A and B are shown apart, each in its own frame.
Chain A
Amino acid sequence: MSLKEILYRSFMTYFILVTCITAGIMILGLAFDPDARFGYDAFISPFIFAALGVIPNLFMYSSKELSDKQIILRKIMQFAVIEVEVVGMCIISPVIHTEKIEVITGVIISVFVIFILANFISIMNNYFSAKQLTKELMQFQKNIK
């Protein structure tokens, strides 16, 4: 994937995230704390969180075709960055009690589980796509012969 392509994708992801985070804040806010009032500075948070959400994607950029080992290494780096970001946000947040070891451990484990799950879904999706492609390939070869 070229740098231009990855920047374009990240740009699109960024604005999708901004929209989703804003909608998420609205839904959760209305459900759990409908009387809360904020200043204009509250509009900044979706932009900041979306930017933090896009940064890990940039770790997968390479102008050359990556080998499987390189992909695994970059995935590990991506995971580490996500962990740092989420834990950092939890520490900054006044409502999350990060002084309790069980809270911070829970956050770290949750991020790990979600990361593994997301990648597992992607791998499975790819596996079924490959199966379908092989089926179509067999049919293609049969038609040509």
Chain B
Amino acid sequence: MIINISQIKKDEKERLEIYCHKVNNEITEIVRFVKSRQGQLTGIIEGAQYEIPVSDVFYIEGVDNKVFIYCEKQVYETRQKLYELEEALKEKHFLRVSKSVLLNLMKIESIKSSLNGRFTAVLQIGEQIIISRKYVPELKKALKGGNL
């Protein structure tokens, strides 16, 4: 695949065009990645695809090789891997808080102490997510304004 990057004037709209023979998995993956970087995720419910604004997402969880996006009222499945989403959503205030959960820091209401040196994030919808000890230093760094 040939990759061309051209710089344009500031008043022109930035765009990404893909010229391909067939829209295969690779192309869809690239599109999903770009969308997630722009603040949109693609979620699936019963085969139907939905565009989800990143700001509506509370957390993303990986369960048995499947990845689910949790919003206030809906849970969507996504084909993206958790590590891909982690990378794509770094600048959207998402942080890995355990082996299987990516949490939107903007949706946390408070942080509670839990047993064995762990913490629990209480979300605005009342759900509680465990923050593993391993990820606490990253959380502290992120809240202090460090890179996510």
A binding-site residues for B, Cβ under 8 Å: 1, 60, 65-66, 68, 71-72, 75, 122-123, 126-127, 129-130, 133-134, 136-137, 139-141, 143-144
Instruction: Give chain B interface residues in 104-148, CB to chain A under 8 Å.
Output: 105-106, 108, 110-117, 119, 130, 132-134, 139-140, 142-145
Q: How large is the interface on B (under 10, 10 to 19, 20 to 34, 35 or more residues)?
A: 20 to 34
* Distance from A118 Cβ to chain B, minimum over Cβ atoms (Å): 13
Q: Is the CB of A137 within 8 A of B143?
A: yes
B binding-site residues for A, Cβ under 8 Å: 93, 98-99, 105-106, 108, 110-117, 119, 130, 132-134, 139-140, 142-145
Q: Is the CB of B117 within 8 A of A122?
A: yes
Interface contact tally, CB-CB below 8 A: 54
Contact of B113 (CB < 8 Å), options: A75, A127, A143: A127
Q: Is the CB of A65 within 8 A of B93?
A: no
Chain B residues with Cβ below 8 Å from A139 are: 143
* Distance from B54 Cβ to chain A, minimum over Cβ atoms (Å): 13
Q: Which 10 pairs, one residue from A and one from B, show the smallest C-beta to C-beta distance?
A: A130-B113, A126-B113, A136-B143, A133-B111, A71-B115, A127-B113, A134-B110, A134-B111, A140-B143, A71-B116
Tell me the bound Cα distance from A68 to B110 in angstroms. Answer: 19
Q: Is the CB of A130 within 8 A of B112?
A: yes
Knowing that A137-B110, A140-B142 touch, tell me 6 more A-B residue pairs with CB under 8 angstroms. A65-B132, A72-B115, A75-B115, A133-B119, A139-B143, A140-B105
Chain B residues with Cβ below 8 Å from A122 are: 117
* Distance from B137 Cβ to chain A, minimum over Cβ atoms (Å): 12
Known contacts A136-B144, A137-B105; A1 and B115 CB within 8 A of each other: no
